Amino acid sequence: MGEDARTTDATITVVLVEDHALVREGTRELFARESGMTVVGEASTVAEAVTLARQLLPTLMVVDVELPDGSGVELVREIVATGLPVRCLMLSAHDDYIYVSEALAAGAAGYLLKTVTAVELVAAARAVATGAVVIDESLSRRLVGRLHQPEQTPAASLTSRELDVIRALVRGSSNKEIAAELGVGLRTVESYVSSVLAKLGVRSRAGASVYAIEHHLVSPSSSE
C-alpha cells in the first residue's frame, strides 16, 4: 500500500513495515492523530518495504525486526547501502541486546520495544526523523554499566565533556538539544560529536551509542 509521499517540508512522512495487520492499523491510527506526521505507505515484507522506500522516499520507516521474507535488519542494511535518505526506527518484541547491536550496526537510528507507550513511540519517531538516535529506555537501563574509563582503550582519551555528549547520544538527543543542555553552540556540539566518533573509531552516532553501551561508558542514570 502506498500513496504520494510529497508533503510539506514540515511533515514527517512515514512507512510502516510490519506483518501483523492489527499492529500496523494501531500504529497508523496513532500517527494519524499527530500533527506534522503522515503515514504514506505500509508494507508487510522486506520486498514490499524496499519498493516503497525507493518509490516514496519517506522521512521515516518504522520497521519490525522479523518479517515473513527476512529480517528488518537486512532491510535497513539495504536501505543504507543504496544511499536512500530514509531514517529507520526498529519496533520489536525482542529485548536481547544482539538484536539492538545488529540493528544499530546496520544503520538503524533507533530501537524500541513494542511495550512502549503511544507517547514514547511518537516522541521517538519525531526524534529519529530529525536526526537523533533513540534506544528503548528499558534496554538502556539493563544494558549499561557503571561509568568507567578502561586504560589502554580508545575511550581512555575522552574528555569529561565528550562523555557528556556520549550520554546525550545514548539518550537520543539531537545536536540542538545537546547544545541547549551543555550551554554551548551548535557548531561546538558538532565538533564534540566528530571528536567522539574519531576517538572511538566509529562512523556514526548510532555506532557511538553501541560502543558506549558495550564498553560501559554510561551509567543507568544517563538514560533519564
Query: Are domains 12-141 and 144-223 of this chain identical in fold?
Result: no
Q: Residue 96 — pLDDT band, cuts 50, 70, 90?
A: confident
DSSP string, 204-219: SHHHHHHHHHHTT-S-
- CATH number (3.40.50.150, 3.40.50.2300, 3.40.50.1000, 3.30.1490.100) of 12-141 reads 3.40.50.2300
Q: Which residue has the higher pLDDT, 69 or 97?
A: 69
Q: How far apart are CA 153 and CA 211, in angstroms?
A: 12
Predicted confidence at residue 136, as pLDDT, reads 85
Assigned CATH for 144-223: 1.10.10.10
Whole-structure pTM value:
0.64
The answer to which of 65-69, 109-113, 184-188, 215-219 has the lowest mean pLDDT is 215-219
Is the per-residue pLDDT at 191 higher than 90? no
Residue 65: Cβ-neighbour burial (10 angstroms; 0-12, 13-18, 19+): buried
User: Cβ contacts of residue 6 below 8 Å, gap of 6+?
Assistant: none
Domain ranges across the chain: 12-141, 144-223
Q: Which residue has the cell 520489536?
A: 92
Q: How big is the chain, counted in residues? A: 224
% of the chain beyond a pLDDT of 70: 85
Q: How far apart are CA 217 and CA 80, in angstroms?
A: 27
Query: 172 to each of 8, 25, 50, 140, how far by Cα in Å?
Result: 25, 26, 26, 11
Residue 215: Cβ-neighbour burial (10 angstroms; 0-12, 13-18, 19+): middle
